[in-house]
Each structure stands twice: as structure tokens, then as C-alpha cells.
Amino acid sequence: MESLVTVIVFATVIAFICNLGRRTDVTGKPSALDSPDSFGIMAQNKSGSPPAQSFPSTKPAMLFKTGFNEKFMCGDIYSGSTLVAVPLVGGTLESVGDFEPKFKFTVNSGADWFQIDADKQHGRLGIKAVATDDQGASVCIITEGVMAMNEVTMPLAFGSPDAKTSPFGFGVETFKIEAGDPKYKPLENMVFVGSQRFLQPEGGLVGVEARISQIVSGEGME
């Protein structure tokens, strides 16, 4: 009898240890909190992908236009890329639609430190510029992007006089604003992306246009 009691006690202890930390609900079933989906970590829809609403979306925010008429070839650098310094000449940065805060800046200084990959297939934009509103408040514009180098973009990038405005679809970029003025401070806490293209040369300037959207966080628990 003692042996039977000992076996029962031992089995009970082993069962308790095996279930230690395993939560159950009032029915005795495993708690939903123990499910890998409990916090939406593994949640997927019927197609096998997470719900679309949890992914970020974009909202049109601003239009950036500038131009250039000079290029300074700095040669092949340590990365194997060819570095080209491109001073920017004038331009504007203006909010669009219902984006807030509203603004219109004039680009008054800046340059694109443009790098052409060793295989000559892509160019890397690296713009840093200053823009000022009509009240004298200035912001710093920082852009990084990549552009396909092909028969459409190359003539424009290098200022061919018979080059035509390119369609969108060859260049994308990230866009960042640094600001000290309180009314523009919210821009520092936003993330932006843009589509970029070159515009047909006019008045000796090759135009650059970027249509920029704010990245909006996804929603939901799954």
C-alpha cells in the first residue's frame, strides 16, 4: 500500500513540474496568453501573410524641386564608387494637400554628393541642403537615395541639352528634416520617402523633382 501511495505522489509531482508555468483559463484549457499568437506576433491571414493594415502606408506630404548646372568630378573613392559633387541652385520645398504643418521654403544652399557605383548601373544620392521660409526660419534637408543609371536618366544627370524629362520609376529616396523652429519641430519626428526624377534642362539648369510622402504606421494587434 505504501508503495502505491509513493508512486501516486511521485506521478503527481512530475505532472505538476511538467505543467509549471503553463497557464489555464477557468475551464482548465490552456490560456490564450500561452499562444504564440497572443500578442499578434505570429498572426497571419488566410494567405499566410500578416494583416495588410499592420503594414505602414504613405501619405503625400511635400514637393521638393531644385536644379543644378555644375558638377565636380572627385574621382574614384575608397568604396569603388565615383564621387561627383553637384551644387544645388535654388528651388523650393512645399507641403501639399492636407499635410501638417503647412510650409513653403526656398532652397538657398546645398549640394548632392552623388556616387556612381563601380558597375555604373546605379547612382547614390546624398543631398544636404538648407531651406528658409518667408519669416527667416531655416531647416536642414537630408536625402539619401538610389537611382537607376540608364538611357533615360544618364543624359539628364549629365546635362545633355536634348535630354527630356524622365518619368517616375527610376529613383527612390529617404527624406529627413532637421529643424529648431518650434512650428517645424514635428517634422523631426516623422519619416519620409520619395520618388525622384530629373526634369528637362531649362535656362541652363537641369531640374530635380521629388514627390515626398510621410510613412504612416500600421494598425491593429495582429
Per-position pLDDT tens, the chain of length 222? 555 445 444 555 455 445 544 544 444 555 444 544 444 544 555 667 888 899 999 999 999 999 998 999 999 999 999 999 999 999 999 999 999 999 999 999 999 999 999 999 999 999 999 999 999 999 999 999 999 998 888 887 776 777 788 889 999 999 999 999 999 999 999 999 999 998 887 787 888 999 999 999 999 888
Instruction: For residue 121, give the 3-state DSSP assignment.
Output: coil
Helix or strand or coil: residue 23? coil
Based on the number of CB atoms within 10 Å of its own CB, is 40 exposed (0-12), middle (13-18) or buried (19 or more)? middle
Give the three-state DSSP class for 32. helix
How confident is the model at residue 12, as a pLDDT?
53
Closest CA to 130 of 110, 103, 102: 110
Q: Which part of the chain has CATH 2.40.160.20? A: 56-216
Quick one: CATH architecture of 56-216?
Beta Barrel (2.40)
What H or E segment, with its residue span, contains residue 153?
helix 153-157
67-86 per-residue burial string, b: 16 or more CB within 10 A, e: under 16: bbeebeeeeeeeeebbbbeb
For the record, the C-alpha cell of 38 comes out as 497572443
Phi, psi of 54 (to 5 degrees): -85, -10
Distance CA 81, CA 155 (A): 19
Global pTM value: 0.75
Nearest 5°: the CA angle 142, 65, 203 is 130
Judge whether 168 and 175 are in contact, CB under 8 Å: no
